[in-house]
Structures are given as structure tokens and as C-alpha cells.
Amino acid sequence: MAAPLRLLLLASLTVFAPFASADLDAQRDAFRQAYALARGGDPGWQRYAPQLEDYPLFPYLEAAALEHDLDHVGRAAVEAYLKRWPDLIPAADLRRDFLQELARRQDWDDFLALYDGRGGDALACAALQARLAKGGTLDFDRDLAALWQQPSLPDACDPALAWARDHGLLTRERVWARIERAAEAGAAGTVAALTPWLPADEQDAARRLADALRDPAAAMAAAANWPDTPRHRLAVVLGMPRLARSDSARAEAAWRALSTHFAFTPGERDRILAAIALYRATDFGDDAAQRLAELPAGAQTDATREWRVRVALAARDWNGALAALDALSPAQAEDAEWRYLRARVLEVLGRKDEARPLYEALAREANFYGFLAADRVGAPYAICPASLAVDDEDARRVLALPGMQRAFEFHALDMLPQARREWARAWDALDAADRRVAADLAYRRGWYDRAVFAFSSGETLRLYEQRFPLAREDGVRRAARAAGIDPAWAYAIIRAESAWVADARSGADARGLMQLLPRTAAQLAKAAALPYAGPDSLFDPTVNIPLGTRYLARLEDRFGNPWLASAAYNAGPDPLGAWLSARGDLPPDLFIATIPWRETREYVARILAFSVIYDWRMHGRALALSARMPAIGVTYAPPAADAARKPVVCPAPPQAEDAASTVTQRPPAPR
């Protein structure tokens, strides 16, 4: 970025924001107080209005007051607000919420006057209910066909669906079509809810579909007594993979009984055989390799083909692994993991002249397998950084967009959910060039996750400064040193766990930058005498990072090195312990390749790649990946700041793709 722009971005927001008053901090303080009052239903928020009328978040105040009073507010007040601010997010929220309130009141005149066809399935169904209440009727194709395609629907749809059923619109064929779609989607509740709508003599088949989804072990045990009909076969086809996933041996036993009881089509049989063979493989059953190799062509999938390789590697069956690699689909074979493993197997087989060109080609890529390959042939790491040139006028123009103003103001107020919603709305309206400008502006203002997510494909993968920010560097380094771990590893964990979303929260309730569970954080804080003020304090990086680095140190002490500790961080210590007991004699790269859980396998590779990149970002060179991956049981010590590091070069032409060092967000695993 040009130096003048750097200076501008460090200046006050008022440089770019014509909306701001002379005292932006005073406006922000006033907004915080007014917003709290408005959300609480206190009309006192209005006394702040005069000083906030030119503040970009001002429309949120009246909307918050109206939202608080929805149970008794009138349509005129809502329509007046919508007329003043028709295109803003709070207006869309207010319209949706007020329509839901009108539906609750069954005030259908006002509902129909305000409803504009938007707002989701619940409002669409309320509109149908309104029409019925006004004496109208429904037509299946016009009114229900699109809704009927959904695997599940909100409760608001029940009145319209009941009317449609009573008036013959939901025929037996239509009910079965939706049941089968819901079953394929795993929506057992929808299947169960629709079962009573079928003729009595067909309800058993529907119930068994629901049973196969909810309790596949019991359903498959009972299936030998079911009649051989297409829908009962579907229940088995859906239930067997679920049973195999939890207990492949039990699924195999069930299959022996059911394979002759039902006249499965070739496609149905292939689907079941593939599932059993796949989950026998992920359990590393003694017969897994044979089962995978003997699958009929129609039963083979990318998953079964890749697991032929993993099972052979776990057994050190190098010729079997090479045969399995040869059986991969052409698209699979191009993946960096399989190219590396092919070279690795050839090397073990003594075919080094064949392995070396594969390693050398991979070593030109900035991903986990490229770094591994570079170590195998003694090559430098290939990382080709790019810089982003942003014109000062472009920065001013993008930052002056009202949506961007609102997004950045919410970020400055630490109101991150609201900031992300405004950002997404503004982002959708930008072209590719302005998106690069906006993402870089976010990075320069410390809103790092916007750049991480924005620069995730094509040439933008080379924007390493923005994609791998050295954020909170003093705090991360200090916390890592205090915990006795490598700062590059701590950075990699943050980048992979949350992508710098400070208020990230998983479905398992892991929180903050390093995705800690509250109970784990409480234990760590007590043991290390570190600050912790309850679960919400984990959204504070100054609390989260010291606790997270201590947890990493605890796992490193237990498992001996960071790469195994990373596996435990994602999967939990107990699963890792079981994998080590079964395959702990494998070299590190092959052990990683045989981790049964895809999420954890990819997570460990991602952490190791990110560690290399962050080490390079901090030192200009990078600690060898082989030094980060000692053999299981070998003593490991975190690298010193002056440790020997590998050179990093940019080969020509630069590699645009480094997919293994990009992050795909998913709910973090429980700690």
C-alpha cells in the first residue's frame, strides 16, 4: 500500500467521514447510552437525538424503541419509520418483526397491507393464513409447491397446511414425495409429523423411515421382519450408513441378514456396501482393505478410493498403497495430498528417482504438502507474497459509502454482529475492485476477519499480510512466552479456530479467538492465576489469548509436541490417545494421513502450514516443518527466536493456489 494511504488510515475517522461531528468520541458515547435506553423502552433516548442526527447509526435508535414496544405499537408508526429509512437493515428487521406480531394478533388487515412478499417461510405462511381468514382459498401450485419442497417448515405454516390437507390439496402422492425428501435430508421430525397424513395402511412404512433416522441400530435389527417394499428398502438404505458410522461391525452383521431379505436394486446395494466398507476403513478393521478393493465399480466413491490409500498406509502396505493411489479418480490424483503421498510411497519403495520430481513440483506450492515436500528434497519454501496497491481516492470513496460507514462505526463500538450485517449488505453492492479496497481498509482498522474471509481465492491468496495478520503481536508473543510455547503456533491456532473473529462462538459453546470452553477456561484461570470473569470474558482477547496459550502448553506437555497437541485441541485428548495406541509407530506425516476424522486430519495440516507462514511473517525465514513434526515420543523444544530457519523464495511463475493454507470455517470441536 502506498505510504500516503497508510498515513491517512492512521488518522481520525473524521478524515474520511463527512457525517462525523467535531467530537466523534462524544457521539459514540451518546449513541451507546441512547441505544441502551431505546432497547429498554426508555423514551429518554430522544434527548440524545439532536447531537446524533448526522451520526450514521442514528436510524437504529428509533427502530430499537419501536422493537421494544411491538406488542402495542401501531401500524402507522411502523410505516412512518419504513418510509424514512426504507433500505436500511433495521427497517427490514422492524417490518419482519412487526408482521410476526400482527400475525400473533391475527390482525390480518394490517398484515396484508404491510406484507411485501419478503421475510422467509414463516411470513409466507402467515400470508396464506391471512388470505384464508379473509375468506380466500389456496392453490397448491401457486401457493404451496415451493414451500412443500422444504425438508422442514416453521410452525407458522401449520394452519395453511392443515387447510390444504382438509381440502384435498395434499394428496397421498404429495405427502409421500415430501416424506421421502425429508428422509433423504435426515429430517426425522418432518417424516414423523407427516406420517398421520397418510392412509392408515401406509403409515408403518413412514414410521420406519423415521425410526431408521432416529435409532438406526434398533430399526436395522427389526428390519428383517419388514415387508419388501420400495419404501422399506429406502429405510434400510438410509439406516445402514448411520449404523455403520457408529458401529461398522454391527452394520456388517445386520447386512448379512438383510441382504437376502430385501430385493435391493443395484444402486441401493452399492450405496449400502460403500457405507459399510467406508466405515470399516475408518475403524481400520482387519478386512477393510479387502472390502474396499472388492467394492463393485458402482459402489466406489471418492471417499472409498481415498480410504484404500489410508488403510494401506496404516498397515505399511506400500505396494497396496501405490495400487490404491493408482485407483484414485483423475481429479483426486491432482490433489496435493495424494501427490505427496505418491512420492512418499515411491521413496519408501526405493524408487527415489521417481519420487524426487514429484517432491520438487510440490515444493513450489505454499501449502502443507508443499512444505513437507521441500523438506524431503532440501528445497527452500516457496511463498510468493503480493502487495495491495490502493489509491487514496478509492479508499476515501469506499469509506464514504453509507453502508461502510455504518459497518465501521459498529466495529468501532465493538458491536460486532451488527457490524458484520452492515458489512455484508454493503459488500454485496461492491464490485471486485472496491471489495479489495474495503477488505484492506478493514485490515488497516484492525477488523482482521473481514480481510481473511475476503482474500480467499485466486490471486488474493498471495496477500499474506492481510490473510495472516500479526495482530495483537505483543500480547500473543507475551502469552506464548509465558506459557512456554511457540508464538507462531499460537498465531496458527487463532487463525484456524476463529479467523480473528473475536466474538466467535461454536455450537459447543467454545468462545473467542482461541475457541475455549468456559469450563476449561475456568480451570486454566484457577490453576495459572489468570484473569477470568465468566464465559463472556472469553470474547476479550486479553483474557482469551493467555488462557488459550496455557491450554496449548498443557496439551503439548501431555502429548510431547505441537502437532499432536493440535490434534488433541481439535478432536479432544481421548480420541487422539486411541489413535496413538493403534498407530503411534507411524512417521508423523503418515500418522496425520491416517487420522480417521477428516476435520481433525485437515485441521492438523492447516495448523502446521499456518505455523510456517506465521513464522515467516515474524522472522522473514521459516522454521523447517520437519522440526515442528518430531517423531512420536521424541523430545521437542519450542524454537528459540534465533533458531536456524529455512529461506523462503518465490519461484517463477508464482503459485496462485495454496488451498491447504486457506481456512474453511466450521464449528470448533469441543475442548
Q: Which residues are catalytic?
A: 497
> Quick check: 225 and 257 in contact, CB under 8 A?
no
Find out whether the peptide bond into 546 is cis, omega within 30 degrees of 0: no
Beta bridge partner(s), residue 301: none
Task: Give the C-alpha distances (Å, rounded to integers) separating 146 from 139, 151, 157, 183, 424.
Answer: 12, 11, 13, 18, 27
Q: If we measure between CA atoms, which residue out of 156, 106, 95 comes closest to residue 133?
A: 106
Backbone CA torsion sign across 171, 177, 178, 179: positive
CA distance 308 to 610: 28
3-class DSSP state for residue 512? Answer: coil
CA distance 125 to 129: 6
Q: How far is CA 663 from the centre of its chain?
A: 9
Find out whether the peptide bond into 653 is cis, omega within 30 degrees of 0: yes
| SS3 letters across 445-457 | CCCHHHHHHHCCC
> Quick check: 500 and 492 in contact, CB under 8 A?
no
State the virtual CA torsion across 321, 322, 327, 332 in degrees, nearest 10.
90
Cell 392453490 found at: 139
> Quick check: 488 and 618 in contact, CB under 8 A?
yes
3-class DSSP state for residue 66? Answer: helix
In degrees, rounded to 5, the angle at the alpha carbon of residue 423 between the alpha carbons of residues 421 and 429 is 115
Q: If we measure between CA atoms, which residue out of 568, 548, 464 comes closest to residue 504?
A: 548
* Contacts for 218 with CB less than 8 Å, ≥ 6 apart: 211
Beta bridge partner(s), residue 505: 511
3-class DSSP state for residue 543? Answer: helix
Beta bridge partner(s), residue 648: 381
> Given its phi and psi angles, is residue 534 left (phi above 0), alpha (psi -120 to 50 degrees) or beta?
left
CA distance 182 to 160: 19
* Contacts for 581 with CB less than 8 Å, ≥ 6 apart: none
CA distance 478 to 438: 31
> Quick check: 663 and 495 in contact, CB under 8 A?
yes
